[in-house]
Amino acid sequence: MSRFCEDRVAIVTGAGRGIGREHALMLAEHGAKVVVNDLGGSRDGEGASEGPAEEVVAEIKKGGGEAVANGDDVSSFEGAARMIQQAVDTFGRLDVLVNNAGILRDRMLVNMSEAEWDAVIAVHLKGTFGPARHAAAYWREQSKAGNPIDARLINTSSVSGIYGNAGQTNYGAAKAGIAAFTIIAARELRRYGVTVNCVAPGALTRMTEDLGPGDLSDEDKAQRSPRWIAPIVTWLASAESSDVTGRIFEASGRMLAVAEGWHRGPSVDPVEDPTAIGPIARDLVKRARMNAGMNGLDLDGGLD
């Protein structure tokens, strides 16, 4: 097997369990030196433990790879800076950052508390911004110093964010924000030799195992394994993917796809009179492509 990421240095956040763990293991299998970040908290973000990250590090080392654990909170700007610095101090540089850490606090909008909103936005959206901000500053500094840069920033969105899922206004808003963040950051960082892409995983993990149908066949479980997400992330982390940036990939055991972002639909000349808008707006909506459902297709405008 070719080793796509030989000697590349990668950070994976939320890598102690689930999808992040699969990322870390496959990156190491393909020759990357990995900083395994995980706060070790519960699904809703409570508590902390060094155990999950240390276990993944031990597994990587047992397989002959190189790895180090990091227990910083991704939603802490200072913690994110320490994480980036740890990679540089331990392995001499940083080539890849995979922002994967996340929590869930699902609730219908009318019942959602401020704390449930704030916690999810902090871990997902700020937890993407902080590590990315410090990594980008490091890569810019290296580029300005004349050092060749072939770096990768890989973020994690969700079909809940790009298509919309009831009961997840906090999570979906954060994940939609990460998709937009990815597109903008790709435009900003290409001058420094950095590509920025995003994955929207579909997998059964500790975070999602009780959200879908209860009785799954063995085939369904196999298709929803988090192992299906790691191959596209490993490829994006490699030198081979240098011509791909600003894209959101859906990945699961059922498919690998590129999600297409917002595009302007039908349009008319500006209208000054609000009393004349009704039939015009309805005609625009009638001629427009419907919003996608959670399967990514035009179904019921994405509405029940």
| Residue 171 annotated as catalytic | yes
Q: Which residue has the tokens 């209208």?
A: 271
Strand arrangement, sheet containing 33-37: 67-70, 33-37, 9-12, 96-98, 151-156, 194-201, 248-251, 256-259
Give 176-179's long-range contacts (Cβ < 8 A, gap of 24+): 177/124, 177/125, 178/99, 178/124, 178/125, 178/128, 179/248, 179/259, 179/261
Q: Which H or E run contains 189? A: helix 169-189
How many other C-beta atoms can be found within 10 angstroms of the C-beta atom of residue 105? 19
**At residue 133, what is the residue type?**
R
Among 138, 163, 171, 192, the active-site one is: 171
Q: Residue 143 class from Cβ within 10 Å (0-12 exposed, 13-18 middle, 19+ buried)?
A: middle
Active-site residue list: 171
